[in-house]
Amino acid sequence: LFLIKPDKLDKMKQDVISDPEAKGVIKSISDMVQAFLWRAAIRVRYRVATEIRKQTFRPDEVSILELPTDGRPYFSSRLPSTYMGSLLILNRSTMPIETLCSNETSIGRVAYLLRQSAARITPSVVHDAFSLLQSLPDHDRFSTANMGLEHMNAMISNMMLFPTNEVCFGDAFFANGGLPESLRPQLERGNGRFRFLVIFPIREDGGIELAFGTHPEELEMFQADEEFTKYAELVDTCC
């Protein structure tokens, strides 16, 4: 578990906005933090693989980032905002592993790629995907790129804008008026099957917590990575 403090988050924002690679279109903190998280997670795996395990990678080998996205707004404007049905789509972005992990690649460049990918999601694309799924005889052969532990792909669960202040358990048994001070998914639920990468809801002080699924040697690499520690600091570890 790492924390980006409010002042470090502001520093990241200013660095990305002033980065020519962001092409002046990256304003979203969400884009920036997702780019930072993807690059950091794969960069540390890459360093362990190349420096410790002596693996090599071809220039054409890519890292796939899968971003779960709520498809309801794209499916139909007639769905009410209170509709509780699930319609989740995975927005995929790719970048050559060596490029993503290079010291010459900036967070702004990665964020720009993610913004381009997000712009591809339209109602027609979602409807086409839904039609294709309906036409298939079965879905047994499908999986996510993030399944498994030893690879260079990632999936980010971005809960940054989740409105925790709208969740209330009442004050009969709970302090703080029944409002949660933090909200976190059950990380132990799947950490033996895939790597968790989670962006938690923005804290009251404006900071953002990040959860990484790591091996011990990767954690050491994180703490030795000057770019990563420029913005984030270790909060806690768990098995």
Supply the pLDDT for residue 191: 67
Report d(CA 224, CA 239) in Å as an integer: 21
The mean pLDDT of 52-79, rounded to a whole number, is 89
Instruction: Name which of 194, 209, 214 is nearest 3 in CA terms.
Output: 209
Percentage of the chain beyond pLDDT 70 is: 96
Report d(CA 133, CA 152) in Å as an integer: 27
Report d(CA 50, CA 225) in Å as an integer: 15
Supply the pLDDT for residue 209: 94
Instruction: Name which of 71, 46, 223 is nearest 151 in CA terms.
Output: 46
Supply the pLDDT for residue 224: 87
21-35 confidence digits (pLDDT tens): 999 999 999 999 999
Both tokens of 27, joined, read: 């304003």
The DSSP call for residue 49 is I
Both tokens of 236, joined, read: 């806690």
The DSSP call for residue 200 is P
Supply the pLDDT for residue 192: 66
In this predicted model, which residue has the larger pLDDT, 25 or 138? 25
Supply the pLDDT for residue 190: 63
Supply the pLDDT for residue 239: 57
The mean pLDDT of 108-129, rounded to a whole number, is 92
Question: Cα separations (Å) of 181 from 30, 34, 166?
Answer: 21, 23, 12
The arrangement of strands across the sheet holding 197-199 comes to: 157-158, 197-199, 208-212, 2-4, 233-234
Residue 149, pLDDT > 90, answer no
Among 68-72, 89-93, 115-119, 173-177, whose mean pLDDT is lowest?
68-72
214-232 confidence digits (pLDDT tens): 888 888 888 888 989 999 9
Give buried/exposed letters for 4-23 (b at 16+ CB in 10 A, else e). Answer: bbeebbeebbebbeebebbe
Q: How confident is the model at residue 49 (pLDDT cuts 50, 70, 90)?
A: very high
